Structures are given as structure tokens and as C-alpha cells.
């Protein structure tokens, strides 16, 4: 039987891979997508972004019912947690969405091959698994994503010492959860289990949490999470772990050196970052080069050093974000179809889906200072925003950064309810190179949380009205 030849074969069915496959097919190319998981959507949809957001939403409702509705004149008695039902709802959300992607593949005539894809060289790919065959492609796209970075001295069993995957399916609420790493994933999942009743301690190597975010906003964020009940131990590192009496004893010491101590936990969530997934892909056989961090090396158009082989998403340089991978998937599909695909990384937002949310786009104050750029700052707190006051979600603030000479918006940082949605007003403004005055003069419906952005923009060059 002759090998089937495709215009494009995408290895990996995550956000970057499946979006690239669909877009390429929509542009008239013959496309196949190889995915070994058995369900499409990658880490994000199966054991990442989506199930974590389902649990975040459910846990927020649980906490609201138990602690916050009385302020609205709603009396609730006998609130109880049905963890099994909560996890089942999470699983259904994931199942519905993965089936939706399969439907989109059929609708757009993308061939879905279930199995592991490995490069053989010469444009050939061996698929082994539920589907076992050799196929050929004019263009190959590596979109295999990333997996959790391990911590030396700790063995992951997804029961007592877990990654984000295990944190989505715990059979009971732990008495004490220790989160190693004060980044996005650890804070989101830690906040889920804190709301459900666990004591949560975050151990972070650096002297601050969310280190890529604006420092001032990050400090505010930590204060709010501490007020909610999270404990933070900054500037410390975990150097070992051992099981004892059904619990885990962690050895913790200052990052800069000092006496070690023991911290006992029921569950330890290792969340120190992610690493590109390149194992078993046959990259060496095909001659594909990696960079100094083990990522697939690409040029500005996602091409590797081997003609006809490309890469996108977590497996290449840049932030490991689903929406970054999706934009790269679309741009690459356009390039392969002979169009001019492009990604503007300057307007890629970052979001922490805790409660309140933290969202950012563009430069932080620290980055502007380091670059020697003269800038102006405008801030406005949600405490005096009428909609936030009415809703009872006044924690947080909006902070905008603009060029001191041109007034062009350079960065936006929002801490507050719905920040992950609000930030996109700033993303769009920056995409069209708007000034803070442009944002300040634009209509903002009243009463809305968005008015805080308008007021912060007014504060860049003058004074806000309502403060």
C-alpha cells in the first residue's frame, strides 16, 4: 500500500497543533494531525487550562455559598462539599470540549491519526499506536507542547507528590497542601484546594511570587492571597522529601543558604515550571537542532534548520501559553498556504485565574526601567469603581504604563475581578498602538469594571475623575 502524502502533518493535537491543522485545512491544504493522548486538546484541555478553570469556578461558588452570600442578604445553611460531583463536572467539561475538536476535524476534513508520531527523515513520519502506519508530508509541524519540570529529590507519584495533573483529581481535600513554586499554575490550583478546606503553604525560591508580572501589582496580589488564608515562604527551596506516617516530610532551607528545617504535608504540588516535550520524536534522526534550553530552534517564521520542518507552541522559545501557541498555529498555516502570517508577541497577555484574577500585557515597570525608557504611570483602584462596589469585589487595581514622550500605551496590569477579560481592552489598544489619551477618551459604559481602565488612563497624564 502506497504511503499517504499530506501537504501538512502536525505532530501534537494541543492548542497550537489542532488550531494549525484546522486553519491549514481551511486554506485548502491536505492535513493530518497525529496525537498520542487519545483525545485532542493537549495538556491545556485535558489536564491543564480547562479542567483547572472548571475547578476554580466550582470552588469559588463553594466558598461564596459558605462565606460571602450573607452580605447580599442571602442566608445559606448546611453548605457541604460533594467533591466527587465537582470532579465529575470537571471531567464532563473536558469531555465535551475534546469531542468538539474531533467534530471540527471532521468538519474541516483534517485526518486524525491516534498514535505517537516520530520523524524518519525525508519527510516521512512513523505513526505507532491505535493508528500504525508511515505517512509522508511536504511540511511537518512539531507542536508537542510541554510537561512539568521535575524537582531533584522528589519522586512524582501523583498521589502524595503531584504535578498539576494529580492536583486536578485528588480523592479528598488534604489537610495541608504544600505548593512548590509561586507561579501561575501553583497559585491557581493552590487556591482551589484552599477554598475547599486545605491549609495551603507556597514555597518559592525567589523573594516574590509571579516573578514575570509587575512587581508592585505582584506584591498587592500576594497580600490579597495571604488575607484569604494562603501562607507564603519566599526565598526558600525544597532540597528533599521522604514519606513518613502517610505524610511527606520536606526539607526546606533558605535559597541563599542557611539552616534547614522540616515541613510536613499531606500533599505536595510540584509546580516549578514546564519544559518542552521533545522525547521520542526522532528529531535527531531528522537532523532537527535544539537550542540551549532544549527547545526546538526556529527562525522568525517557525522554520527549523531542516527544510520542510517547523515548530510552534511550548516546544519553541517564548511564553508557554495556549493562546500564544494558537496564534503561532494560525500564522504558520497561513505561511504554508503562501500567505503572510505574523504574530505580535508584544501584545500577548498573561493571566492568573485566581480570585481576584491577575492579568498583564506589555512591559512591566521593572522592564521599562531596565531598558531606560522614560514612562508615566496611571492607576485606579477598584475600591472606588461603582460596579465593583455594587458587586462586592473591590480588591485590586488597574495600572497603566505609557511612553512619557509619545503617550503610547506600553503596558497594562490589572488585579481584580474579571481581570482576564478586562485586559483585552488594553491588548486591543496596544495592538493598534493607542495612547493612554485614546483609551481615556473612548466611551466606557457605566457602571462597568472597565471604567477603572478609563480612569487609570486619565491618571497617566492628569487626574482621574472619581478619586
* pLDDT higher than 60, residue 45: yes
Separation between Cα atoms, residue 327 and residue 306, nearest integer Å: 22
Q: Which residues contact 73 (CB under 8 A, 6 or more apart)?
A: none
At 95 the pLDDT is 97
CA 419 to chain centre: 14
What would you measure as the largest C-alpha separation in the chain, in angstroms?
A: 74
Beta strands in 12-154, from DSSP E residues, in sequence order: 31-35, 111-114, 116-121, 124-128, 133-142, 146-148
User: 128-180: per-residue pLDDT in tens?
Assistant: 998 789 999 999 999 999 999 999 989 999 999 999 999 999 999 999 999 99
State the pTM of this model. Answer: 0.97
User: 310-366: per-residue pLDDT in tens?
Assistant: 999 999 999 999 999 999 999 999 999 999 999 999 999 999 999 999 999 999 999
Question: Do 281 and 118 meet the contact criterion of CB atoms below 8 Å apart?
Answer: yes
At 332 the pLDDT is 98
Question: Do 237 and 259 meet the contact criterion of CB atoms below 8 Å apart?
Answer: no
**Residue whose C-alpha is closest to residue 355's, from 195, 175, 127:** 195
At 270 the pLDDT is 98
User: 221-272: per-residue pLDDT in tens?
Assistant: 999 999 999 999 999 999 999 998 899 999 999 999 999 999 999 999 999 9
* pLDDT higher than 80, residue 2: no
At 130 the pLDDT is 87
- DSSP H helices, 311-418, are 322-336, 365-370, 386-391
Catalytic pick from 444, 446, 449, 466? Answer: 446
Give the mean pLDDT of the chain. Answer: 97
Rounded to 10°, the helix 49-63/184-195 angle is 30
User: 286-315: per-residue pLDDT in tens?
Assistant: 999 999 999 999 999 999 999 999 999 999
For residue 226, what is its C-alpha cell? 495571604
- Is residue 449 part of the annotated active site? The answer reads no
Rounded to 10°, the helix 184-195/215-228 angle is 20
Separation between Cα atoms, residue 463 and residue 467, nearest integer Å: 8
At 403 the pLDDT is 98
Question: Do 380 and 398 meet the contact criterion of CB atoms below 8 Å apart?
Answer: yes
Separation between Cα atoms, residue 355 and residue 303, nearest integer Å: 39
User: 53-74: per-residue pLDDT in tens?
Assistant: 999 999 999 999 999 999 999 9
Separation between Cα atoms, residue 218 and residue 254, nearest integer Å: 21
Separation between Cα atoms, residue 305 and residue 250, nearest integer Å: 44
At 131 the pLDDT is 74
From first CA to last CA, the distance across the chain in angstroms is: 74
Amino acid at each position: 500500500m502506497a504511503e499517504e502524502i499530506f501537504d501538512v502533518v502536525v505532530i501534537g493535537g494541543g492548542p497550537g497543533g489542532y488550531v494549525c491543522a484546522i486553519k491549514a485545512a481551511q486554506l485548502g491544504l491536505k492535513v493530518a494531525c497525529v496525537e498520542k493522548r487519545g483525545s485532542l486538546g493537549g495538556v491545556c484541555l485535558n489536564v491543564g487550562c480547562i479542567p483547572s478553570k472548571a475547578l476554580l469556578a466550582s470552588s469559588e461558588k463553594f466558598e461564596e455559598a459558605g462565606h460571602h452570600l450573607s452580605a447580599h442578604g442571602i442566608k445559606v445553611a448546611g453548605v457541604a462539599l460533594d467533591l466527587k460531583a465537582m470532579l465529575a463536572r470537571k471531567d464532563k467539561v473536558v469531555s465535551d470540549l475534546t469531542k468538539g475538536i474531533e467534530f471540527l476535524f471532521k468538519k474541516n476534513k483534517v485526518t486524525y491519526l491516534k498514535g505517537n508520531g516520530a520523524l524518519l527523515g525525508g519527510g516521512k513520519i512513523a505513526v505507532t499506536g491505535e493508528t500504525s502506519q508511515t505517512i509522508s508530508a511536504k511540511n511537518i509541524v512539531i507542536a508537542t507542547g510541554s510537561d512539568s519540570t521535575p524537582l531533584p529529590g522528589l519522586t512524582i507519584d501523583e498521589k502524595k507528590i503531584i504535578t498539576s495533573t494529580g492536583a486536578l483529581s485528588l480523592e479528598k481535600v488534604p489537610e495541608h497542601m504544600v505548593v512548590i513554586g509561586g507561579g501561575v499554575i501553583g497559585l491557581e490550583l493552590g487556591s482551589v484546594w484552599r477554598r475547599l478546606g486545605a491549609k495551603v503553604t507556597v514555597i518559592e525560591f525567589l523573594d516574590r511570587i509571579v516573578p514575570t508580572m509587575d512587581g508592585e501589582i505582584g506584591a498587592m496580589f500576594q497580600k490579597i492571597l495571604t488575607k484569604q488564608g494562603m501562607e507564603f515562604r519566599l526565598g526558600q527551596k525544597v532540597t528533599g522529601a521522604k514519606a513518613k506516617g502517610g505524610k511527606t516530610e520536606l526539607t526546606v532551607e533558605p535559597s541563599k543558604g542557611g539552616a534547614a528545617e522540616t515541613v510536613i504535608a499531606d500533599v505536595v504540588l510540584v509546580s516549578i515550571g514546564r519544559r518542552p516535550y521533545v522525547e521520542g520524536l526522532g528529531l535527531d534522526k531528522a537532523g532537527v537542532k535544539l537550542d540551549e534550553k532544549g527547545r526546538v530552534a526556529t527562525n522568525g517564521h517557525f522554520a527549523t534548520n531542516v527544510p520542510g520542518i517547523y515548530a510552534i507552541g511550548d516546544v519553541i522559545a517564548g511564553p508557554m501559553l495556549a493562546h500564544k501557541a494558537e496564534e503561532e498555529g494560525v500564522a504558520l498555516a497561513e505561511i504554508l498556504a503562501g500567505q503572510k502570517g505574523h504574530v505580535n508577541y508584544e501584545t500577548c497577555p498573561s493571566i492568573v485565574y485566581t480570585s481576584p484574577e491577575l492579568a498583564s500585557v506589555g512591559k512591566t515597570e521593572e522592564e521599562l526601567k531596565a531598558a531606560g525608557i522614560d514612562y508615566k504611570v496611571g492607576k485606579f483602584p477598584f475600591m472606588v469603581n461603582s460596579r465593583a462596589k455594587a458587586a462586592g469585589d473591590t480588591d485590586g487595581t488597574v495600572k497603566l504604563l505609557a511612553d512619557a514622550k509619545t503617550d503610547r500605551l506600553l503596558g497594562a496590569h490589572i488585579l481584580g475581578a474579571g481581570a482576564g477579560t478586562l485586559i483585552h481592552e488594553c491588548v486591543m489598544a496596544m495592538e493598534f498602538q493607542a495612547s493612554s489619551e485614546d483609551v481615556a477618551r473612548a466611551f466606557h459604559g457605566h457602571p462597568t469594571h472597565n471604567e477603572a481602565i478609563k480612569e487609570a488612563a486619565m491618571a497617566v497624564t492628569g487626574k482621574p475623575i472619581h478619586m
